[in-house]
């Protein structure tokens, strides 16, 4: 079992949008994150267009985005989200093992990439918290 530091008393939960077209999986991930206490799910999208709209509406700290969304896929939705707010933290996930998916996610502006199996891991909350912390504390690339 991974050691977890207890959440700080004054630490504000991270506001997250889950973009997943499988309602059961989205529900499971939401429950895991809610139980952790460091996250609050402010929206759930079942397609890419809804994910973009929810980001505009809620301005979440993080977006957990399935790459294979109906309509506008996760890559196109990530591009649209970044066109509006280049600093928006999007973590893309997929069940695919194709390197091309990672490259496309990176090119779209994703700040992180996970395999879909990670979503049901008991450590998903810790992984997302670390990804977010590393993202907000990252040093910009020198130009």
34-49 residue pLDDT tens: 999 999 999 999 999 9
HSE-up (13 A, CA, CB side) for residue 66: 25
Q: How far apart are CA 59 and CA 10, in angstroms?
A: 21
**For residue range 98-124, what is the model confidence (pLDDT) as tens digits?**
888 889 999 999 988 888 888 888 888
Beta bridge partners of 64: 18, 91
Task: Give kind and range of the element (H or E) at residue 78.
Answer: helix 74-84
Identify the burial level of 39 via C-beta atoms within 10 angstroms of its C-beta, where 0-12 means exposed, 13-18 middle and 19 or more buried.
Answer: buried
pLDDT score of 141 more than 60: no
Q: pTM for this structure?
A: 0.85
Q: How far apart are CA 101 and CA 107, in angstroms?
A: 10
What the chain holds in terms of domains, given with CATH numbers, is 14-135 (3.40.50.2300)
């Amino acid at each position: 079992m991974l050691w977890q530091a207890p959440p700080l008393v004054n630490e504000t939960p991270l506001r997250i949008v889950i973009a997943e077209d499988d309602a059961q999986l989205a529900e499971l991930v939401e429950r895991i994150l809610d139980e952790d206490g460091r996250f609050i799910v402010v929206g759930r999208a079942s397609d890419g267009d809804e994910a973009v709209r929810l980001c505009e509406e809620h301005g979440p700290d993080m977006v957990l985005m399935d790459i294979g969304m109906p309509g506008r896929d996760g890559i196109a939705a990530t591009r649209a989200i970044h066109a509006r707010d280049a600093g928006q933290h999007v973590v893309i996930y997929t069940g695919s093992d194709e390197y091309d998916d990672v490259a496309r996610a990176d090119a779209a502006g994703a700040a992180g990439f996970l395999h879909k199996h990670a979503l049901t891991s008991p450590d998903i909350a810790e992984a997302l918290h670390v990804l977010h912390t590393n993202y907000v504390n990252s040093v910009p690339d020198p130009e």
